[in-house]
Amino acid sequence: MRKDERRRQQRPFEERDVRLLVAIGHQVGVAVQNARLWQELKEKERARSELLEKLISAQEEERQRIARELHDDMAQGLTALLMGLARLEHPTTGVSPEMVGTIDTVKQFASQALDDTRRMILDLRPAVLDDLGLVSAVRLYAQSHLEPLGVAFTLEAERMHDRLAPHLEVALFRILQEAINNCARHARAEHVRVRLEHVDGEVRGTVEDDGVGFDVWATLKGKREKAALGLLGMRERAALIGGSLDIESEPGRGTRLRLRLPLEKQVP
C-alpha cells in the first residue's frame, strides 16, 4: 500500500490530469470570486442600512427640533396675541363697537394660525408620542387626519401599556402615519381600523380600510409611472428595526397592512 502511494505520487501528470486541474482551478476561481462579490454585496448592504439609519435619525432630530420651536415660539406667541386682542375687545378699554368686529376677525386669524401650527407640529413630531407613547400618538394622528374627512376611525390597543424604546416608537409611528395618510389620500374608505397589540414577544400593528384597494404587485414593482415610495419606505423602516410589513390589497377589496416587530432581538 505504501508502495502504491509512492508510485502514484511519483507518476508524472498526463495531459488529462492537467486539463482536469485547470478546470478545477477555474471552478475554484469562480467560487472565490463569487464569495468575494457576495461579501462585497453584504458589506455594501450593511453600509447602506447604516447610512439610512443615520439619515433617518438625523431627520428625526431635525423634525423634533422644528416641532419644538413651533411649539415654544410660534404657538406661545400666537396665544399671547389672542389674549391681548381679547383684552382690547373688553368694554372697559373704551373700544368703539365697529372696532370690536375688526378685533374679532383678527382674533380668528390668530386662532387659525395656531391651528395650522398645531397641525404642523403633529405632522413633524407630535409631543404626545414622546410624552404618552405610540397609542396616544396614533389616536391623535388618525383622529385629526381621518375624522375631518368623515372617515370613521377605531383604535384597539391591547397590552400596549408599557412604553417601547424611543427609536422603536418613532419608527412604528412613522410607519402607521404613512399608512393612515394613505387611507386618507387614496382609500376613499368609510371606516379605518387600527389595532395594536403586544403578543408573543412582538408588537403587531394592523391598519385596515374598507376603501377602493389597489394592485399591490403592480404598484410595488413600479409598473406605474411613479415609484411607490411610501409603501417601500414603510417596508424599509420596518426592516431596519428588525420587523416586517405585509401589504394585502385588491382593487375593490380594501387594504390591510400588517406590521410585526419582534422585541426580544432588540438591542436596548
Binding-residue total with ligand ADP (CB under 6 A):
16
Query: 175: buried, middle or exposed (CB in 10 Å: 19+, 13-18, 0-12)?
Result: buried
- 59 makes contact, choosing from other proteins, ligand ADP, Mg ion, none, with CB < 5 to 8 Å by partner type, with none
Amino acid at 170: V
Phi, psi of 253 (to 5 degrees): -120, 10
Site residues, Mg ion (CB under 5 A): 182, 230
**CB nearer to ligand ADP: pick between 117 and 219:** 219
The secondary structure element, H or E, covering residue 15 is: helix 15-69
Specify whether the CB–CB gap between 107 and 82 falls below 8 A: yes
Of 60, 77, 181, 240, the one binding other proteins by CB under 8 A: 77
List the one residue out of 74, 147, 76, 146 whose CA is nearest residue 117: 74
Q: Is 259 in the site for ligand ADP (CB under 6 A)?
A: no
Q: CA-CA distance, 174 to 223, in Å (whole number)? A: 26
- What character string, x for contact with other proteins (CB under 8 A) and - otherwise, covers 157-186? x--xx-------------------------
Catalog residues that contact other proteins under the rule CB under 8 A: 71-72, 75-87, 90, 92-93, 107, 110-111, 114-115, 118, 121, 126-128, 131-133, 135-137, 139-140, 143-144, 157, 160-161
Catalog residues that contact ligand ADP under the rule CB under 6 A: 182-183, 185-187, 209, 211-214, 219, 228-231, 255
